[in-house]
Amino acid sequence: RGRLLRWPRVLLFGDSITEYSFQENGWGSYLAERLVRKCDVLNRGISGYNTRWAKLILPRLIPESTGADSIVAVTIFFGANDSALKELNPKQHVPLEEYAANLKSMVQYLKSVDITADRIILITPPPLQESAWEKACLTKGDKLNRCNATTGQYAQACVQVARECSTDVLDLWTLMQKNQDFSSYLSDGLHLSPKGNSFLAAQLWSRLENKLSALPSLLPYWRDVDHMNPEASLL
């Protein structure tokens, strides 16, 4: 028998913006489609979670025994919940300094299990479109519980952590607000619209492509299989 076929893995770790990324035209499914013969793209998005909770889960997702060699990239995409306003959303809110410390400790954990900095991409929360998110809050009987300027501070902290830890970073908060009204990137003021998904997918792909382009396609192209002796090609 041939040896076990192992697909390398790309791990998407984040909150609802990651959890929803496998929906139709989602940024996660875009990556999965591009990498289908090369990697498994694992969605480990957990709606509503913040870095305080994520930090506890990460070692359970990637135990030391996993063999970090099989993990070729990890995205860490938190902040949309951490940056919720303390007085209006104390359950999800994480203070700015703690948010930065939590991100840093997650990166340090990954490095401790031999996932090197060049395989880690931090993603900042996207900008918040307050009027649209206020509508979403009101339908649940809540007040507006986030604000864009605050989210921007968390985005800045995320960029700073990436700089200190030498990881890649995708500053979605800044990029989405460059020279334009960013509301079309969001479906409800907080989560991504189809346009926001394709924006993130393109930005992320431009960072991942050079890391992953060297990976071989697993199993030969069908025309290259020796049909008289398939074992020779496939085992």
Model pLDDT, residue 21? 98
Split at pLDDT 50, 70, 90, the class of 132 is: confident
The answer on pLDDT for 189 being more than 90 is no
214: tokens are: 């060297």
pLDDT at site 48: 95
- Among the options 15, 82, 93, 191, which is catalytic? 191
Q: What angle do CA 222, 6, 73 make, to 5 degrees?
A: 110
SS3 state at 33: helix
Q: Single out the residue of 59, 29, 57, 56 nearest to residue 43, CA to CA.
A: 29
C-alpha 74: how far from chain center: 7
**The residue type at 35:** L
Average pLDDT (27-50) is 95
Q: H/E element holding 74? A: strand 71-77
Q: Which residue is catalytic, options 16, 183, 187, 193? A: 16
Q: Average the pLDDT over 82-109 and give the result.
A: 95
d(CA 10, CA 119): 9
Mean pLDDT of 31-55: 96
Query: In the structure encoding, which two tokens stand for residue 222, read together?
Result: 């069908």
Rounded CA gap, 230 and 219, in Å?
12
16 is catalytic: yes
The predicted structure's pLDDT at residue 210? 84
- Look over the chain and give the mean of its residue pLDDT values, rounded to a whole number: 92
78 contacts 15 by C-beta, under 8 angstroms: yes
Helices (H), the chain: 16-19, 27-34, 51-61, 96-112, 130-139, 148-165, 172-177, 194-212, 230-234
Active-site option among 184, 188, 193, 198 = 188
pLDDT band for 121, please (50, 70, 90 cuts). Answer: very high
* Annotation marks residue 188 as catalytic: yes
* In the block, residue with structure tokens 């996993």: 66
User: What average pLDDT score do residues 130-138 get?
Assistant: 83
DSSP state of 214: T
In this prediction, residue 192 has a pLDDT band, given cuts at 50, 70 and 90, of: very high
Nearest-angstrom CA–CA distance, 85 and 105: 23
Which residue ranges form the domains of the chain, and what is each CATH number? 9-233 (3.40.50.1110)
* Rounded (10°) angle between helices 96-112 and 51-61: 10
CA dist 101 and 109 (Å) reads 12
- The letter for the amino acid at 55 is K
